[in-house]
């Protein structure tokens, strides 16, 4: 395998000392590293000021302000007091003062009927349960009791899920105003720098071409290039990914000028060239046609080079991988290797084909040693936070999975409309974008799009305290990651402990800091009299033994200390990703991504909200990000299992929303929403039981509901009517179509009786000390591969419960119909209620059945199902009406013993 540059990396195994720590060479010589341009690393964000007050966020206030401004300009123009040029200047100034975003509540004509129906449904549920409890079924008392308990649990589950949707909102941004305010011509660009994190863990299950496309979409984003820093975390220490990034950096030099010249979307080449659109229509300029064809040829050659690297990586040499200069690859042992950092783009002299500057691209692989817990993705994210704090320290952080590319090049600008807002921006911990996916079948058989969650639940949470963090496609405020609290209107912002500021000295010989050089951090604190030594010790207990990192943490607006020694930065970056750095610190406990759950996203966002932070849900017209989703049934069930297991882990941890954070500022409905996110797997138990009861009723001839009176029939009909109305009105205000809603309902049942059920038991086992490991889902961008994977059948134990439910209910239907045929006309009436519930179960499990049956080009699934059903019915009927069976009724013929 070849490598673009030579590098060396080493760190002492399990050592806390910084002695002997090596670093990756940025270029081919140490002298170039030492003379690295300091300004390339410095991104201090200048404080911005606005003339006049900012208008209210409400749309009515904004419209009124604009009208007043226009009238004021018209009056001055009539009096001849201003010229046209002055009018334009005044209008631009007035427009720049307007809010960068506005809240758009759901129209009252849509939301009020929805709320009324919810209240009506609660009333109906109360009367329904009154009837159910006061009218037990004595001849089937155990079945009746179990069914009532299950119904109460499911009703409470619906209530906990429903209440956080009471105040749904959407938000609109104004990118024009953002540019007017922070990108005025002739003045310094004041948009804040952004560090982008891309995480990957296995280059074979997460193909390098996918990661390359994600990185290219980041590097070509519509944002000032000097303010974009892309960090790629390689948790497998793979030389394949390392070489892929160098190939990607070379291709970026021709790709970025092309996309900027023609403003194409999306800016991930694989997905841009795969679009089924006629780019020759509408009289396209011949230059574009020629450049596009040339760029497509370049991209095909780029893919060939990546495929060559993959083919070479299939078989590892006995002596291990060796780089171009003959140096052994430091990551030959994926579980025992030093930390590695390499800058692929962004060094002095690295320009694109047009001679323009390129964004920074940094390869990072944290140190791993036996005997240390590395905490999977959460640990990798915390390592990226520390590395970026030392090297660039942008005030905002965007995190992406390797398969989640930027689909809208203005996405970062959309987030800045909230994060750089002078009123709300300082109190926002993150801006979450919805997940959208490529390669999903048109019918979305397994509800991969999750539209109910992203277009209903998340909008409801946005109206309370903000959406939950979903693990990717999220722009963070770095101060929230550091465990700080949002600024208060009454008191100046403080750190968690007594504060001092520190920065690097100009001495190149060591990492000493003069704490008296910066006095800004001491203003407004009550503990000024504490010595610098004590203050430094307090910060080291929280953030670790890195003065450079601590200095960066204390810079609230980002950027690096002005007197930072650039050579020291590289050594510190290696130091902060050492495997023992986090020991005896708050990383993973109160700082950064929290440990203790495989769903570190829910846990991290919950901790931020408990501190009083607010999050924002941004849904631009063009989807911000797109990624891949699990295609076949097995992968989808395992994905749901991971999410559900993470929720059960949080439930059994100290961060459970039921008892954690009551001293914070978490709102009641927000706590209810987080409670729903961690208790929903436990609903699998009553749901599994409730799906079994119909079959038991059909097999035993019993029923869970007594004979209905007229009043009881009215309440039962009212309950079903309110359920339907709730669904219809929810779809109206959210815009979700009925098919997506129905797929979500189906897979809720499928996931509950399989993945959620297993997650509950695995969570209990983890409490007992038994841990489960998860494999990374294989990802693909090939449309043909996606089509093949849809019908791929891979057996897993998760399929046992739903398969058993299907068979049991089908057998129950056959037995019920056979019994009705045998017993006559009067038995058909009670049978319909039992059949209704059994068919309800089978219809919800229908996508699961299609997944079991395989490809559609074989015998249609519905034919197979009905064939089996009719065969069983015919067999059972034949057995029940067989004339040779003994009769249970009629005269008993026995010998009387008399001679007649």
- Binding site feature residues for Mn(2+): 377, 401
Asked if residues 30 and 347 have their Cβ atoms less than 8 Å apart, the reply is no
Q: Identify the bridge partners of residue 719 per DSSP, sorted by sequence position.
A: none
How many angstroms from the chain centroid is the CA of residue 661?
Answer: 23
Rg (CA), the chain: 32
833 by Cβ neighbours in 10 Å (0-12 / 13-18 / 19+) ranks as: middle
CA triplet 275, 278, 283: central angle to 5 degrees? 140
At 43, list the tokens: 């991104």
The reply to whether 235 belongs to the active site is yes
Report the distance separating Cα 198 and Cα 472, nearest Å: 9
Q: Give the residue carrying structure tokens 């090596």.
A: 22
Q: For residue 760, what are the contacts with CB-CB under 8 A and spacing of at least 6? A: 644, 648, 681, 682, 684, 685
Report the distance separating Cα 846 and Cα 851, nearest Å: 9
Q: For residue 775, what are the contacts with CB-CB under 8 A and spacing of at least 6? A: 205, 638
Asked if residues 412 and 475 have their Cβ atoms less than 8 Å apart, the reply is yes
Closest C-alpha among 357, 352, 361, 360 to residue 257 = 352
How many angstroms from the chain centroid is the CA of residue 124?
Answer: 36
Catalytic-role residue among 202, 352, 462, 601: 601
Report the distance separating Cα 689 and Cα 145, nearest Å: 12
Bridge-based pairing of strands 101-105 and 169-173 is antiparallel
Bridge-based pairing of strands 405-406 and 340-345 is unpaired
Asked if residues 445 and 850 have their Cβ atoms less than 8 Å apart, the reply is yes
Q: For residue 334, what are the contacts with CB-CB under 8 A and spacing of at least 6? A: 236, 237, 238, 368
Instruction: For the chain, count helices (H), then strands (E).
Output: 30, 13
Q: What 3-state class would DSSP assign to 255?
A: helix
Catalytic-role residue among 195, 234, 235, 740: 235
Report the distance separating Cα 244 and Cα 402, nearest Å: 13
Q: For residue 325, what are the contacts with CB-CB under 8 A and spacing of at least 6? A: 3, 6
Report the distance separating Cα 215 and Cα 209, nearest Å: 10
The reply to whether 740 belongs to the active site is no
Q: For residue 12, what are the contacts with CB-CB under 8 A and spacing of at least 6? A: 19, 20, 21
Report the distance separating Cα 865 and Cα 454, nearest Å: 34
At 479, list the tokens: 């101060």
Asked if residues 357 and 226 have their Cβ atoms less than 8 Å apart, the reply is yes
Report the distance separating Cα 782 and Cα 631, nearest Å: 12
Q: What 3-state class would DSSP assign to 481?
A: helix
Name the binding residues for UDP-alpha-D-glucose. Answer: 205-206, 235
How many angstroms from the chain centroid is the CA of residue 863?
Answer: 39
Neighbours of 110 (CB within 10 A): 14
Start-to-end C-alpha separation, the chain = 107
Name the binding residues. Answer: 205-206, 235, 377, 401
Closest C-alpha among 428, 472, 471, 421 to residue 611 = 428
The helix-helix angle for 633-651 and 757-767 (nearest 10°) equals 40
Report the distance separating Cα 773 and Cα 522, nearest Å: 47
In degrees rounded to 5, what are phi and psi of residue 363? -90, 130
At 629, list the tokens: 């989703």
At 63, list the tokens: 């419209």
In degrees rounded to 5, what are phi and psi of residue 399? -115, 135
Report the distance separating Cα 218 and Cα 224, nearest Å: 12
Q: Among all residues, which ones are annotated catalytic?
A: 235, 601
């Amino acid at each position: 395998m070849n490598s673009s540059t030579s590098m060396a990396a080493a760190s002492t195994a399990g050592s806390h000392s910084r002695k002997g720590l090596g670093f990756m060479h940025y270029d081919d010589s140490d002298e170039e590293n030492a003379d690295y341009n300091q300004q390339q690393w410095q991104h201090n964000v200048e404080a911005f000021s606005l003339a006049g007050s900012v208008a209210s966020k409400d749309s009515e206030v904004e419209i009124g302000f604009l009208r007043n401004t226009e009238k004021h300009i018209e009056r001055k123009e009539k009096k001849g007091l201003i010229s046209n040029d002055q009018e334009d200047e005044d209008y631009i100034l007035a427009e720049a003062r307007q809010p960068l975003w506005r809240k758009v509540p759901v129209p009252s004509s849509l939301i009020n009927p929805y709320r009324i129906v919810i209240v009506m449904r609660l009333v109906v549920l109360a009367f329904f349960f009154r009837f159910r409890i006061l009218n037990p079924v004595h001849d089937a008392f155990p079945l009746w009791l179990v069914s009532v308990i299950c119904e109460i649990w499911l009703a409470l589950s619906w209530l906990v899920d429903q209440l956080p949707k009471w105040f749904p909102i959407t938000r609109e941004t104004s990118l024009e105003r953002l540019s007017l305010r922070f990108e005025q011509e002739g003045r310094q660009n004041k948009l804040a720098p952004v560090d982008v994190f891309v995480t990957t863990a296995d280059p074979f299950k997460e193909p390098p071409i996918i990661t390359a496309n994600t990185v290219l979409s980041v590097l070509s984003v519509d944002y000032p290039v000097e303010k974009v820093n892309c960090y790629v975390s390689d948790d497998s220490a793979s030389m394949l990914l390392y070489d892929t990034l160098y190939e990607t950096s070379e291709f970026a030099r021709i790709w970025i000028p092309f996309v900027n010249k023609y403003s194409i979307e999306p800016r991930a080449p694989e997905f841009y060239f795969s679009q089924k659109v006629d780019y020759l229509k509408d009289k396209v300029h011949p230059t574009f046609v020629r450049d596009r064809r040339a760029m497509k040829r370049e991209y095909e050659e780029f893919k060939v080079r990546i495929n060559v690297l993959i083919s070479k990586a299939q078989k590892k040499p006995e002596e291990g991988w060796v780089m171009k200069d003959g140096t052994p690859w430091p990551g030959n042992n994926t579980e025992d290797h030093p930390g590695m950092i390499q800058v692929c783009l962004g060094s002095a002299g690295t320009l694109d084909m047009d001679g323009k500057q390129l964004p920074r691209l940094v390869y990072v692989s944290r140190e791993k040693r036996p005997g240390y817990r590395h905490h999977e993705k959460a640990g990798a994210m915390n390592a990226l936070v520390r590395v970026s704090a030392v090297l660039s320290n942008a005030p905002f952080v965007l995190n992406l999975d390797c398969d989640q590319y930027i689909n809208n090049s203005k996405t970062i600008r959309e987030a800045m409309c909230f994060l750089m807002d002078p009123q709300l921006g300082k109190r926002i911990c993150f801006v979450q974008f919805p997940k959208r996916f490529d390669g999903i079948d048109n019918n979305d058989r397994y509800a991969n799009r999750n539209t109910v969650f992203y277009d209903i639940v998340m909008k409801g949470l946005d109206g309370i305290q903000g959406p939950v963090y979903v693990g990717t496609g999220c722009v963070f405020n770095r101060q929230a990651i550091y465990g700080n609290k949002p600024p208060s209107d009454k008191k100046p912002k403080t750190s968690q402990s007594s504060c001092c500021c520190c920065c690097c000295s100009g001495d190149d010989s060591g990492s000493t800091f003069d704490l008296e050089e910066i006095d800004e951090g001491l203003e407004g604190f009550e503990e000024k009299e504490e010595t610098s030594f004590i203050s430094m010790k307090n910060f080291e207990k929280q953030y670790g033994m890195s003065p450079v990192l601590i200095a960066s943490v204390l810079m609230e607006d980002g950027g690096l200390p002005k007197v930072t020694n650039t050579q020291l930065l590289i050594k510190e970056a290696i130091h902060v990703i050492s495997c023992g750095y986090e020991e005896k610190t708050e990383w993973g406990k109160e700082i950064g991504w929290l440990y203790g759950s495989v769903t570190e996203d829910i846990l991290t966002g919950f901790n931020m909200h408990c501190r009083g932070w607010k999050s924002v849900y941004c849904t631009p017209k063009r989807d911000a990000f797109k990624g891949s989703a699990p295609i076949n049934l097995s992968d989808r069930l395992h994905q749901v299992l991971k999410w559900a297991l993470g929720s059960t882990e949080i439930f059994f941890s100290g961060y459970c929303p039921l008892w954690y954070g009551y001293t914070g500022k978490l709102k009641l409905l927000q706590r209810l929403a987080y409670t729903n996110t961690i208790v929903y797997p436990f609903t699998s138990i009553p749901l599994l039981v409730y799906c079994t009861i119909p079959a038991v009723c059909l097999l035993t001839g019993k029923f869970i509901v007594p004979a209905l009176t007229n009043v009881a029939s009215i309440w039962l009909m009212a309950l079903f009517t309110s359920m339907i109305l709730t669904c219809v009105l929810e779809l109206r205000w959210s815009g979700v179509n009925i098919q997506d809603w129905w797929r979500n309902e189906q897979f809720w049942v499928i996931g509950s009786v399989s993945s959620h059920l297993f997650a509950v038991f695995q969570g209990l086992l983890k409490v007992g000390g038994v841990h489960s490991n998860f494999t990374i889902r294989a990802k693909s961008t090939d449309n043909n591969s996606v089509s093949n994977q849809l019908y791929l059948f891979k057996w897993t134990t998760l399929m046992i419960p739903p398969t058993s439910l299907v068979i049991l209910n089908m057998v129950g239907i056959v037995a019920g119909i056979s019994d009705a045929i045998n017993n006559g006309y009067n038995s058909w009436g009670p049978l319909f209620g039992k059949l209704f519930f059994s068919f309800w179960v089978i219809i919800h499990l229908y996508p699961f059945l299609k997944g079991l049956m395989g490809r559609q080009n074989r015998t249609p699934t519905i034919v197979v199902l009905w064939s089996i059903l009719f065969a069983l019915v015919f067999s059972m009927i034949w057995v029940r009406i067989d004339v040779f069976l003994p009769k249970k009724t009629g005269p008993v013929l026995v010998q009387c013993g008399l001679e007649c």
